[in-house]
């Protein structure tokens, strides 16, 4: 079995599904981590195997960033336009950024009666964590994730990698998303060990 076939780890998905079931209601799940770590893959898998009620609404910050310098802006928009209004039953949603036209595009309303899953760099901040029921941090070796991210975007990311990484490092230093997370995933697909998921209890691998 290849390392790719081991991802996402079955035990990890089971642990996250248990957390969803135990949260009750319509939980908000935030998935954060550096570029190329596997956030989108994990989000897709969790949506496909959502254990309760209707499938959650999936929001990707890649659709919200207002350009290559927009990590912090998208992180703030996530709270101001989606998470905070949703928490009080007000109209909530997100606006797509049209990368080709370099301008904001259409508005997407979310259903407050359905679960919500948000993935992307900047999803888990000090502000956003207050509105989340399940907080996930996923990471991988820097060299491995860079290869993945650049290959995935077909060359469009190449010229922006360094500036994006600098934004990301500033965000991490300020917000400390890894410390805010209840679940920690090591998704280094090229490592000799299988990908691992750290449960909500420190030191516990599930």
Q: In which element (H, E) is residue 108 found? A: strand 103-109
Domain for residue 124, yes or no? yes
Domain for residue 155, yes or no? yes
Domain for residue 22, yes or no? yes
Give the number of domains in the chain. Answer: 1
Which string of DSSP letters, residue by residue, matches 118-167?
EESTT-S-HHHHTT-SEEEEEE--HHHHHHHHHHHTTTSSGGGHHHHHHH
Domain for residue 37, yes or no? yes
Domain for residue 171, yes or no? yes
**Which region holds residue 98: left if phi is over 0, alpha if psi is between -120 and 50, else beta?**
beta
Q: What is the pLDDT along the chain (206 residues), one digit of tens a residue?
A: 223 333 455 567 889 999 999 998 899 999 999 988 889 989 999 999 999 888 999 999 999 999 999 999 999 999 999 999 999 999 999 999 999 999 999 999 999 999 999 999 999 999 999 999 999 999 877 666 666 656 666 666 667 778 998 999 999 999 999 999 999 988 764 443 344 444 444 333 33
Domain for residue 71, yes or no? no
Q: Kindly report the CATH number assigned to the domain that includes residue 157.
A: 3.40.50
Residue-range definition of the domain harbouring residue 170: 4-60+114-198
pTM: 0.84
Q: In which element (H, E) is residue 23 found? A: helix 10-23
d(Cα 176, Cα 92) in Å, to the nearest integer? 26
């Amino acid at each position: 079995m290849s390392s790719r076939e081991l991802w996402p780890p079955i035990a990890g998905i089971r642990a996250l599904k248990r957390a969803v079931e135990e949260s009750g209601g319509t939980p908000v799940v935030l998935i954060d981590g550096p570029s190329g770590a596997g956030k989108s893959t994990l989000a897709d898998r969790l949506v496909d195997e959502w254990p309760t009620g209707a499938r959650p609404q999936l929001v990707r910050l890649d659709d919200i960033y207002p350009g290559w310098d927009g990590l912090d802006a998208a992180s703030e928009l996530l709270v101001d336009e989606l998470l905070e209004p949703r928490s009080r039953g007000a109209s909530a949603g997100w606006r797509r950024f049209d990368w080709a036209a370099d301008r904001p595009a259409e508005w997407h309303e979310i259903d407050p009666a359905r679960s919500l899953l948000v993935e992307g760099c900047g999803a888990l901040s000090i502000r956003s964590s207050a509105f989340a029921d399940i907080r996930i941090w996923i990471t991988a070796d820097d060299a491995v994730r860079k290869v993945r991210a650049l290959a995935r975007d077909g060359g469009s990311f190449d010229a922006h990698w360094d500036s994006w990484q600098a934004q990301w490092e500033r965000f991490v230093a300020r917000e400390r998303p890894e410390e805010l997370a209840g679940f920690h995933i090591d998704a280094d697909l090229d490592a000799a060990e299988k990908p691992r998921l750290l449960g909500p209890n420190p030191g516990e691998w599930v």
